[in-house]
Amino acid sequence: MNSATERDEMRRRFFDQAAEDWECRNYPPETRRRTEDLIAELEIAEGMTILDAGCGRGILIPMLRERAGPRARLIALDSSASMLAGVADKDSRALALHARAEHIPLLDDYVDMVVCFSAFPHFSDHPAAVREFHRVLKPGGTAHVLHLASRETINRHHDMHHAVHGDHMPDESAMRAMFAGAGFIAVVLREDADRYCFSARKNGRLT
Ligand X SMILES: C[S@@+](CC[C@H](N)C(=O)[O-])C[C@H]1O[C@@H](n2cnc3c(N)ncnc32)[C@H](O)[C@@H]1O
Binding site residues, ligand X, CB under 6 A: 11, 15, 54-57, 59, 77-80, 83, 100-102, 117-119, 122-124
Question: In the complex with ligand X, which residue's Cβ is closer, 56 or 170?
Answer: 56
Give me the residue whose beta carbon is nearest to ligand X: 56
To ligand X, the closest distance from the beta carbon of 203 in angstroms equals 25
Cα–Cα distance list, 132 to 22, 90, 155, 163, 178 (Å): 27, 26, 24, 25, 12
Nearer to ligand X, 121 or 141 (CB): 121
In the complex, the smallest distance separating the C-beta of residue 184 from ligand X, rounded to whole angstroms, is 19
Q: How far is the CB of 63 from ligand X (least distance, A)?
A: 11
Q: What are the Cα distances from residue 197, in Å, to 17, 37, 87, 157, 162?
A: 28, 12, 24, 18, 26
Residues 64 and 50 sit within 8 Å (Cβ to Cβ): yes
d(CA 142, CA 175): 15
- Minimum distance between the CB of residue 29 and ligand X, rounded to whole angstroms? 15
